[in-house]
Structures are given as structure tokens and as C-alpha cells.
Amino acid sequence: MKHLISPSLLSGDFLHLQEDVEMINNSEADWLHMDVMDGVFVPNISFGFPVLNAVGKVCKKPMDVHLMIVEPQKFIPEVAASGAYMMNVHYEACLHLHRTVTAIREAGMKAGVTLNPHTPITLLEDILYDVDMVLLMSVNPGFGGQKFIEHSVEKTARLKDMIERKGLHTLIQVDGGVNLETGKRLLDAGADVLVVGNFVFNSPDPCQTIKELKEL
Ligand code: DX5
Ligand code: ZN
């Protein structure tokens, strides 16, 4: 499968979000990544459901929602109502992860489980059969524009190996500090979906940057 690019709107211009979404619509981006933060699970607050709903109305690409919040299972109906394609919940935020990913799928969405940089992939051994995607954080979640954690490349390769050994087709998404250089190495290690925030939105020509990321 050709890899997918999911630009993160967290690095967009919040006064002109519609223009940014239209840029995404007209670009080669495959998905749109939406980062929801609560100031509890992560030390920052981004945006919530009113913004998700508004973007959902104009976005023509599948929305990939990354919930950096405690108790994400409480908000499955709200995320589904925004038109989201994929709902990512953090492993570290879910006491009953199997119940949560099952409920996400029952609500009509794809289910993703996200790991913080310090969380070992071995913890996925028994949930891998029930999720559509694993999102590996390659920065500590909470902010755009942070430095890529090198260890993420080797972690991606180990996860790819684990998925293949089980005969599964679970997607691997990587999020944080991705650019053309780190992106290439992640793809070589087995990543399927790259989330890219700062590198796209703060480039002189975001549409062209997305094209270059697609060509990796
Ligand atoms: C970080 C978010 C990311 C962020 C990535 O907590 O989950 O999606 O927007 O931004 P960059 O690509 O700038 O690291
Ligand atoms: Zn994210």
C-alpha cells in the first residue's frame, strides 16, 4: 500500500481554518488529523467538538481524530457525530481499552490506539486483533513543532514485525516531528500513515509540501 499523509490542523491558522481545510481538500493529503486536548491528559488545550463539527462540514478528506484526553470513551457519540472516519484513543487513558475500541467500531468509526513515546509496544499484544490502526507518538503529546524522538524509528520497525507475525494488516501511524527526512526513515521502517503539522503548515507552499511527502 502506498503510504498516507494526514496533515495536522493543530498547526493551521485558527483565524482562517476554512482556508486551511480547503487547501487540504485541494491537496494530495489522504486524511485530516484533528488533535483534541483537555489540559489534563496533556499539558495543553486545543479545541473541542464545536470545531470538529465545523471542520467536518467542509472537509472532503476522512477525518482522523486524535483524542489526548482522559476518559475518551465518554465522547464516542460526539466524535462520530462530527463525521470522523477514525477515532484514536490513548492506551494510557483507557482502563477498559477493549470495551472502548469495540464501542468506537459499533459507532461506525475505525478504531485507533495511541502509544506515548515511553509506552512499550509489547502492551499491544492482546489488543492488536481489535484495532484498525496503532498511532505511535514520536514526541510527547501536547504541542506541535517539537523535536522528533529518534527511538521512534526502531519502535516502528518492531511494531511492523509484530503485526506481520500475527498475520494482521493493522496500519501504523506516526505523529510528531515528521518532515521529509524523518518521514522517509519511518516509511522505510514500516509506517503507513504520517501525521505532519508544523512541517506542512509553516512551509512556504503547504500544498507542494504535501505532494513532496506523498512522493517519499
Ligand atoms: C502533538 C499532536 C500532533 C502535532 C504534530 O501532540 O498530536 O498531531 O500536531 O505536529 P508536528 O508535526 O509539528 O510535530
Ligand atoms: Zn496528533
pLDDT, tens digit, 9 for 90 and up, residues 143-166:
999 999 999 999 999 999 999 999
- Dihedrals phi, psi of 172, to nearest 5 degrees: -110, 120
Residue 146 CB–ligand 1 contact under 6 Å: yes
- Ligand 1 atom closest to residue 10's alpha carbon, by position in its atom list: 9
- 158 close to 122: Cβ distance less than 8 angstroms: no
**pLDDT at 106 > cutoff 90:** yes
C-alpha cell at 185: 526513515
State the Cα–Cα distance between residues 192 and 176, nearest whole angstrom: 15
State the Cα–Cα distance between residues 48 and 35, nearest whole angstrom: 9
The sign of the torsion formed by the CA atoms of 115, 128, 28, 181 equals positive
**What single-letter DSSP state applies at residue 54?**
H
Kindly indicate the confidence band of residue 1, based on its pLDDT and cuts at 50, 70 and 90: confident
* Ligand 2: centre distance to CA 140 (Å): 10
Q: What is the pLDDT of residues 58-80, one digit of tens each?
A: 999 999 999 999 999 999 999 99
Q: What average pLDDT does the structure give for the chain?
A: 98
- 144 close to 8: Cβ distance less than 8 angstroms: yes
C-alpha cell at 147: 523535536
